[in-house]
Amino acid sequence: MKKLLFALGFVVLAAFAQAQMIEPVKWEFELKPLKGANQYEIVATASIDMGFKLYGVNMADGGPVKTSFNFETMENCKKFGKPVEVTPSKKMHDKLFDMEVTYFKDKATISHKVWVTEKPAKISGYIQWMSCNDEMCTPPTDEEFEFVIE
């Protein structure tokens, strides 16, 4: 009985902790066809809460988690190139990490190109990101996307 009560208490505590987590970055994903045969661009747009920074794509290792595209399923398609910061990032020396970082405020758009070799095609994956304000940082977080191209 004690084990059951302990487990139940743990579940309630975990649910409460989950409800208290903040989510300062909201993502929207779009698949845009490009000129040229079977080329597409995955466009990820982040809305960033006031006071928070979303870290950039092009940053040195050893500091905050940089924003990255990660592909899990690539059926009948291939990625090409690297992620592109459509919204230019800013640079600053971050006191918390004692290094130069790139970051976005308010809004960020990042894209990655893919080439479809045969239809139908399926692309799925996630963007991993981290954000901080002057008082705290979010843990690295994954935001999933999935597209089917008919």
60 in a domain, yes or no? yes
In a domain, 75, yes or no: yes
Statement: residue 45 has pLDDT above 80: yes
For 124-146, what is each residue's pLDDT tens digit?
Answer: 999 999 999 989 999 999 999 99
Domain with 54 in it: 24-149
Domain count, the chain: 1
- pLDDT at site 20: 55
Mean of the per-residue pLDDT values of the chain: 87
Domain for residue 102, yes or no? Answer: yes
Question: CB of 77 within 8 A of CB of 114?
Answer: yes
At residue 36, the pLDDT reads 77
Position 4 in a domain: no
DSSP 46: E
In a domain, 121, yes or no: yes
Does 77 fall in a domain? yes
Burial of 11 (0-12, 13-18, 19+ CB in 10 A): exposed
- Please state the pTM of the whole predicted model: 0.82
**What mean pLDDT is predicted for residues 74-96?**
94
Concatenate the DSSP letters of all residues of 83-110 into one string.
Answer: EEESSPPEEEEETTTTEEEEEE-SEEEE
Q: What percent of the chain has pLDDT over 70?
A: 87
Instruction: List the CATH number of the domain containing 83.
Output: 2.60.40.1250
Q: Does 117 reside within a domain?
A: yes
Going through 34-140 in order, the beta strands assigned E by DSSP cover: 39-48, 53-55, 68-75, 77-85, 90-94, 99-104, 107-116, 121-129, 131-132
Residue 111 lies in a domain: yes
